[in-house]
Amino acid sequence: MYRDAMDKLIKWKISKTRKPLLLTGVRQCGKTYIVNEFGKKCFQNIVRINFEGQPKFSQVFDYDLDPERIVRELSVLTKEKIVPGDTLLFLDEIQECPKAITSLKYFCEDLRELHVIGAGSLLGVALKNESISFPVGKVNRIQLYPMSFREFVIASDAGNILESLRGWPTDRMLPELISLPMEKLLKEYYIVGGMPEAVQTWIETHDTDAVEEVQEEILRDYSDDFSKHAPAVEVPKIRWIWDSVPVQLAKENNKFVFSHVKQGKRSAELENGLQWLKDAGLIYQLELAEKPEVPLSAFADMTYFKVYLSDIGLLRVRSNISAQTILEGNENYIKYKGAFAENYVMTELLSQGKTPYFWRSRNTAEIDFLCENKESIIPIEVKAADNMQAKSYKMFCKKYKPKTGFKTSLKNIAENQCENTRTINLPLYMIWAMDQYL
């Protein structure tokens, strides 16, 4: 299946300043698949070492971290030639061999001509381990996310619709020939999400029950990871937080509140569990930006935040929302409808390489997302359906006067002025094209 990350990998391959690459991302988001496809496409051969399935290879890194020796012994053990420039050396599940992570420093310094990629399901967690000597400044990094809506549409053999939307003028309404199929695909994406196995199952079967079996299995694997890889004392806390995320998202004021996780528990007791889930890539944290000024990170309040799941399909399953409910949009879905739209936009912005924040003025106004564009702040207001009444957006524009902002919903594309701010009404299914209107 098509992944945008392939372009990033190709750029990495030909870069004159290339270093060994670490590919991070939540379990089962397609890291092994994309590296294997990259290897087949761009190299004469790929040598994959799986430290989880083949722990014996860890011994190669025990003696010393000389890359010439390591490559020589790996070549003997795998019976594969490892030739700089021709071979991709893929160190999969690298978190299982901490010395292999450290060795990347020496591959960078002494054997940079060899293309080396390290990847792992819980690499984010492993890299927080103080016992691992991380090669600071000696690696490149790429974050892989679950498949974006755009990638889902391409997998659904509807990439021609995406092409027709490229550069679409804001003064021309989208015809139903385009808008209706895109709305249908968006509903399907809410059901299936972006985990590659779930997407593949949907493409092959269009059976929501089969998709849910895959999703439930992924969720069980995540739950197993808590017990296998998290400190024993943190496991119950991680489970409490994991279970509370869908519930807290559905609240009208969906700020994450530690006291709502478990009665009697304080933030100090739960912070490590929350951090573990973040490091594992299972949740994303959206922080409050107290002032909408560049850089937003300088005005972030790390104690005031919202939490979203890494995949909207998994959010649906964990929220016990049936596929039929999403397709029909019935009243049972009202409380979660806004949460789904926000979670969807959050994951889309991250997949575009953006670092979003949100803004709140006491309890009187809120902007769902703020992003930076060079020297400008871009406000983004999210609505689940086609209701574009946005008092908070108007108040924000009046007070801070951003050049450009977005209202995103199921309403057709349009452009207008709001308190002298150029405002684009961008359909939810076109968030991937946001940059073309900046």
DSSP string computed for 69-138: HHHHHHHHHHT----TTTEEEEEETGGG-HHHHHHHHHHHHH-TTSEEEEE-TTHHHHTT-TTS---TTS
Distances (CA, A) of 349 to 220, 369, 370: 27, 9, 10
Does the CA dihedral 141-304-29-52 come out positive or negative? positive
Question: Do β-strands 283-289 and 300-309 pair in parallel, antiparallel, or remain unpaired?
Answer: antiparallel
CA distance 401 to 382: 19
Question: Do β-strands 404-409 and 421-427 pair in parallel, antiparallel, or remain unpaired?
Answer: parallel
CA distance 420 to 147: 36
- Among left, alpha and beta (phi > 0; psi -120 to 50; other), residue 99 is alpha
Q: What is the DSSP string of 286-339?
A: EEEESS--SSGGGGEEEEEEEEEES-HHHHHHHTT--HHHHHHT-GGGHHHHHH
Report field, pTM of the whole predicted structure over 0.75: yes
| pLDDT tens digits along 143-202 | 999 999 999 999 999 999 999 999 999 999 999 999 999 999 999 999 999 999 999 999
The encoded tokens of residue 187 equal 């509903």
The contacts found for 195-202 with CB under 8 angstroms, 24 or more apart, are: 195/28, 195/29, 195/146, 195/147, 195/311, 195/313, 195/314, 196/1, 196/28, 196/29, 196/30, 196/33, 196/146, 196/147, 197/28, 198/313, 199/1, 199/147, 199/152, 199/155, 200/1, 200/155
Q: What is the pLDDT of residue 334?
A: 76
Closest CA to 199 of 161, 247, 148, 235: 148
**Contacts with 94 (C-beta within 8 Å, 6 or more apart), sequence order:** 22, 51, 100, 101, 118, 119, 120, 123
Q: What is the pLDDT of residue 38?
A: 98
- Domain 5-143 is classified in which CATH homologous superfamily? P-loop containing nucleotide triphosphate hydrolases (3.40.50.300)
- Give the CA radius of gyration of the chain: 23
Collapse the DSSP code of 367 into the 3-class scheme (helix H, G, I; strand E, B; otherwise coil) and give the result: strand
CA distance 291 to 298: 9
pLDDT in tens, the chain (438 residues): 899 999 999 999 999 999 999 999 999 999 999 999 999 999 999 999 999 999 999 999 999 999 999 999 999 999 999 999 999 999 999 999 999 999 999 999 999 999 999 999 888 898 877 678 888 899 999 999 999 999 999 999 999 999 999 999 999 999 999 999 999 999 999 999 999 999 999 999 999 999 999 999 999 999 999 999 999 999 999 999 999 999 999 887 789 999 999 888 889 999 999 999 999 999 999 999 999 999 999 999 999 999 999 999 999 999 999 999 998 877 767 778 899 999 999 999 999 999 999 999 877 789 999 999 988 999 999 998 766 667 899 999 999 999 999 999 999 999 999 999 999 999 999 999 999 999
For the chain, how long is the longest CA-to-CA vector?
69
Q: What is the pLDDT of residue 387?
A: 63
Q: What is the pLDDT of residue 386?
A: 66
- Only one residue has tokens 């524009």, namely 397
Q: How many CB atoms lie within 10 A of CB 242?
A: 22
Q: What is the pLDDT of residue 167?
A: 93
User: What are residue 302's phi and psi, to 5 degrees?
Assistant: -70, -10
The encoded tokens of residue 77 equal 């053990």
**CB 319, CB 308: distance < 8 Å:** no
Collapse the DSSP code of 48 into the 3-class scheme (helix H, G, I; strand E, B; otherwise coil) and give the result: strand
**CB 151, CB 4: distance < 8 Å:** yes
CA distance 92 to 122: 11
Sheet holding 115-119, edge to edge: 45-50, 87-92, 115-119, 21-24, 140-143
CA distance 49 to 77: 10
Indicate the residue type of 64.
Answer: D
Q: What is the pLDDT of residue 385?
A: 73
Query: Which residue ranges make up each domain of the chain?
Result: 5-143, 149-437
